[in-house]
Amino acid sequence: MKSILVTGGAGFLGSHLCERLLAEGHEVLCVDNFYTGSKSNISNLLQNPRFELLRHDITFPIYVETGQIYNLACPASPIHYQHDPVQTTKTSVHGAINVLGLAKRLGIKILQASTSEVYGDPDVHPQSEDYWGRVNPIGIRSCYDEGKRCAETLFFDYHRQCGLSIKVIRIFNTYGPRMLPNDGRVVSNFIVQALRGEPITIYGKGHQTRSFCYVDDLIGGMRRFMDSRADFIGPVNIGNPGEITILELAESVLSVVGGPSKLKFLPLPQDDPKQRKPDISVARKELQWEPKVPLKDGLRETVAYFRRTLLD
Ligand code: NAD
Ligand code: UDP
Ligand code: UDP
């Protein structure tokens, strides 16, 4: 049993990670400022004596004792990270400095939840880890993209300069239960719209592509990476290489939910990447990991979750 700190543990991915770590028998300290996370995400964990919750903003120093750190704290959807872009950059950069300082003081391993957004609107397809990306440094997505890029820089510099044990994972679009119904991400938007019989909002022509990974697969990859050999520090892409257009996603959601929704076409947001698909050969080789859950199965689970929560 280890004592493990999860920042952003009350969020979508963080709550699934906390749950998995507890099921494995570890002690979990969940640190969250509830910016986008919620107590309801972890309500089933609060009774567990091995689970502890600390309300804290990681842009401020944090002095706790723990044996390992997963740094997930950061709003992840465009609506939320663009709501207070300065805070987003602070969370990525100041937050990284604080958790890295904590890991350095304790001499422990730390994992950074980075993102496919470090590749920006990519001109290399699919994206492999050695691609440096095509990111606008001054656009409306930059607070997130550049914040995450700077956090990666900090992780690698703490590794080189202080000998810190690090792991950097680049997460591609992930979906599943506990996504927020109102955070504007495409899977949650489409499901909620379909369940309410409202129009499905397609930005642009819907020909842009994404590759969607079910949350259980993602958490499995993250766990495997954290426990992998010390000299494999990443960055490593974790995601599902099954690439589809946004129009195809709309059709899949509608076929799972049913209902009368029609498609509604709206303008494409600024800097919206045209295509995205992870090259996961590094994860396959180094972690013997690949996603298992087909899109239809994952959508069914996610739709069931939204049916329950929207009816509450
Ligand atoms: P989320 O918004 O559900 O979770 C983020 C959590 O961090 C929330 O609980 C929020 O309250 C907390 N938080 C935000 N700022 C904080 C701060 N300053 N101090 C403490 N807590 C803070 O998002 P998510 O989808 O669960 O994403 C988790 C991590 O994974 C993020 O770092 C995100 O960038 C990364 N990621 C997610 C995806 C995805 O598809 N979900 C893709 C790529 C990367
Ligand atoms: N820090 C923290 N918890 C700790 C140790 C450090 O939050 O247990 C913060 C500390 O506030 C500092 C940052 O982490 O600003 C970076 O720490 P580091 O030791 O790398 O740098 P320094 O303190 O020399 O600036
Ligand atoms: N999108 C859409 N309709 C929506 C929400 C999003 O067509 O209601 C598109 C969006 O323009 C993008 C893709 O779906 O091309 C994925 O958007 P999301 O915000 O989920 O993820 P990201 O752009 O960060 O990959």
Q: What is the mean pLDDT of the chain?
A: 96
Q: Report CA(108)–ligand 2 centroid distance (Å).
A: 14
For residue 312, what pLDDT is reported? 67
- Over pLDDT 70: what percentage of the chain? 100
The catalytically annotated residue of 144, 158, 175, 214 is 144
Tell me, yes or no, if the pTM score tops 0.85: yes
pLDDT tens, 296-310?
A: 999 999 999 999 998
Mean pLDDT for the stretch of residues 25-30:
98
For residue 266, what pLDDT is reported? 97
Atom of ligand 1 nearest to the CA of 117: 43
The sign of the CA dihedral 167, 171, 177, 178 is positive
104 — pLDDT class (breaks 50, 70, 90): very high
Quick check: CB of 102 below 6 Å from ligand 2?
yes
Where do the DSSP E strands lie in the chain? 3-7, 27-32, 51-55, 68-71, 109-115, 166-171, 174-175, 200-203, 209-211, 213-214, 236-238, 243-245, 263-266
Write the residue with the smallest CA distance to atom 14 of ligand 3.
186
pLDDT tens, 160-203?
A: 999 999 999 999 999 999 999 988 999 999 999 999 999 999 99
For strand 243-245 and strand 209-211, is the pairing parallel, antiparallel, or unpaired? antiparallel
Quick check: CB of 56 below 6 Å from ligand 2?
no
Q: Report CA(105)–ligand 2 centroid distance (Å).
A: 8
pLDDT tens, 242-254?
A: 999 999 999 999 9
Secondary structure class of 226 (helix, strand, coil): helix
Atom of ligand 1 nearest to the CA of 14: 26
Please report which ligand is nearest the Cα atom of 140: 3
Quick check: CB of 161 below 6 Å from ligand 2?
no
pLDDT tens, 50-96?
A: 999 999 999 999 999 999 999 999 999 999 999 999 999 999 999 99
For residue 17, what pLDDT is reported? 98
Please report which ligand is nearest the Cα atom of 164: 2
Can 81 be counted among the known catalytic residues? no
pLDDT of 311 over the 80 cut: no
